[in-house]
């Protein structure tokens, strides 16, 4: 056996395999571009359970309709070698297998067990937060970060993970302090930048937020497409909040869309930003068509409710009604086949489907249906994953559908509360003025 970067044993005798595992872990934690090294490691030593498990995890991170089918062979390859694997490797294999099977609760429980027994495994801490984020367990995200902090207090990425957990729990001052601590340790810590952007967005610190992100943007250039485009997405939100949609549109063209158009998260960033630009009254031209071209190629996948809702908005805004109808029909079938004993199944049924139906109605301009369909999903929205800022898209869809459907009395208090909570945000005053004219 050899030891990995966490000084923990891995059942392999090949240093190149351990190097591949270490490269994957580093890339995963820092949003790098070298995670695919684990696939070569897994091929080099088919008997290494950890390499097979992480190779399967990488397939799942790609979030395509083929991810599960591509992940299973790696897991099967490992099964005959489980008896010689370490206990940690067995748990890694089991948690990825649970993820592949759609059993989020088991995946989280197994991840928690890994970090309880081997807290030095920071990749497992990050993986635990990942799983929790995608089912809306925000308190759990913070809990695991706080538990891991004493072991990793000298690691900037740990403080970035802590910052995001604090922010999602609305402990904003603590979140900003943790994020700034991470940046003091390592300027190029994009997840900490991201957490602070969330804090500033929540507090309506538009100009400060934009300047903060722009000053650090040089450190994102070598990060993966999600981190690069998503941090620029946050910068664009600051521009929109400042009522500078043209500046946000330029960021869309220059930085947000076009890094990796086939990737789910890049498509989500594009859809969410185009929608917000339209909310601001901007004509985005043919940009919906370009995004929809790539979404339509995916076909019905149903990886996560959060993704499906964005895909439907992109398709309908581009006028791809047949593709949107096919995706929605497939989603209804998917929900009907679910095992209601599982958490993800209940999330699909109770939140994912009504959200998708409401989003599709909005995209087609059916304001009354959108207003009625979206409302039941909003209370459970946290469960579909995505951050506060990302999920706010669906609240904005509901508010605008209500305004256009003549439900001014219902939606006006929500608009007023937004303006009161973030008095420095210029766009809120414009929204209230527009509502008064309806």
pLDDT for position 272: 98
Closest to 87 (Cα-Cα) out of 50, 129, 130, 44:
50
pLDDT for position 358: 98
Closest to 422 (Cα-Cα) out of 240, 150, 229, 175:
240
Tokens of 252: 């869309």
pLDDT for position 436: 86
pLDDT surpassing 90 at residue 340: no
pLDDT confidence of 262, banded at 50, 70, 90? very high
Task: Please write the tens of the pLDDT for every residue from 18-41.
Answer: 999 999 999 999 999 999 999 999
Helices (H), 186-304: 190-203, 206-216, 225-241, 245-251, 264-279, 287-298
pTM summary value: 0.97
pLDDT for position 438: 74
pLDDT confidence of 437, banded at 50, 70, 90? confident
Closest to 337 (Cα-Cα) out of 289, 302, 368, 382:
302
Question: Is there a contact between 329 and 308 (Cβ–Cβ < 8 Å)?
Answer: no
Q: Report the share of the chain in percent with pLDDT over 70.
A: 100
pLDDT for position 214: 98
Question: How big, in percent rounded to 5, are the helix, strand and coil portions of the chain?
Answer: 75, 0, 25
User: What does the DSSP assignment read for 140-191?
Assistant: HHHHHHHHHTTTSTT-HHHHHHHHHHHHHTT-HHHHHHHHHHHHHH-S--HH
- Kindly state the average pLDDT of the residues 197-217: 98
Summary mean pLDDT of the chain: 97
Task: Please write the tens of the pLDDT for every residue from 79-94.
Answer: 999 999 999 999 999 9
How far, in Å, CA of 20 to CA of 342, rounded? 34
Tokens of 419: 């303006």
pLDDT for position 2: 98
pLDDT surpassing 90 at residue 381: yes
pLDDT surpassing 90 at residue 361: yes
Question: Is there a contact between 122 and 25 (Cβ–Cβ < 8 Å)?
Answer: yes
How far, in Å, CA of 295 to CA of 65, rounded? 12
- Kindly state the average pLDDT of the residues 352-373: 97
């Amino acid at each position: 056996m050899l030891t990995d970067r966490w000084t923990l044993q891995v059942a392999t005798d090949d240093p190149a395999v351990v190097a591949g595992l270490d490269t994957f872990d580093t890339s995963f934690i820092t949003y790098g571009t070298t995670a695919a090294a684990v696939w070569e490691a897994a091929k080099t030593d088919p008997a290494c359970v950890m390499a097979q498990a992480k190779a399967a995890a990488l397939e799942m991170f790609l979030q395509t309709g083929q991810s599960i089918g591509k992940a299973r062979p790696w897991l099967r390859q490992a099964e005959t070698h489980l008896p010689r694997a370490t206990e940690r490797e067995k748990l890694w294999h089991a948690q990825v297998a649970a993820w592949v099977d759609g059993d989020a609760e088991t995946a989280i429980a197994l991840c928690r067990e890994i970090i309880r027994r081997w807290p030095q495994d920071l990749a497992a801490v990050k993986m635990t937060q990942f799983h929790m984020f995608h089912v809306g367990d925000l308190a759990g995200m913070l809990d695991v970060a706080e538990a891991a902090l004493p072991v990793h207090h000298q690691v900037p990425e740990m403080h970035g993970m802590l910052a995001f957990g604090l922010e999602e729990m609305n402990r904003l001052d603590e979140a900003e302090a943790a994020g700034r601590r991470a940046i003091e340790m390592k300027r190029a810590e994009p997840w900490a930048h991201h957490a602070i952007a969330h804090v500033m967005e929540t507090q309506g610190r538009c100009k400060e937020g934009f300047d903060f992100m722009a000053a650090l943007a040089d450190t994102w250039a070598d990060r993966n497409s999600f981190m690069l485009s998503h941090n620029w997405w946050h910068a664009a939100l600051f521009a929109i909040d400042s009522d500078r949609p043209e500046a946000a549109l330029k960021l869309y063209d220059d930085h947000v869309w076009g890094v990796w158009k086939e990737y789910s998260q890049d498509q989500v960033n594009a859809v969410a930003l185009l929608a917000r630009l339209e909310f601001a009254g901007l004509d985005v031209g043919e940009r919906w068509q370009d995004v929809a071209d790539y979404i339509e190629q995916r076909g019905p996948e149903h990886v996560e409710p959060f993704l499906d809702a964005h895909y439907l908005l992109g398709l309908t805004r581009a006028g791809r009604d047949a593709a949107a109808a096919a995706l929605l029909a497939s989603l209804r079938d998917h929900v009907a086949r679910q095992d209601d004993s599982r958490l993800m199944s209940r999330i699909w049924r109770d939140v994912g489907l009504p959200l998708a139906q409401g989003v599709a109605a909005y995209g087609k301009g059916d304001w009354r249906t959108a207003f009625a369909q979206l409302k039941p999903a909003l209370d459970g929205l946290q469960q579909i994953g995505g951050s506060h800022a990302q999920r706010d898209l669906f609240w904005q869809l509901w508010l605008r559908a209500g305004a256009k459907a003549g439900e001014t009395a219902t939606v006006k208090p929500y608009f007023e509360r937004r303006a009161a909570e973030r008095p420095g945000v210029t766009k809120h005053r414009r929204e209230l003025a527009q509502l008064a004219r309806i």
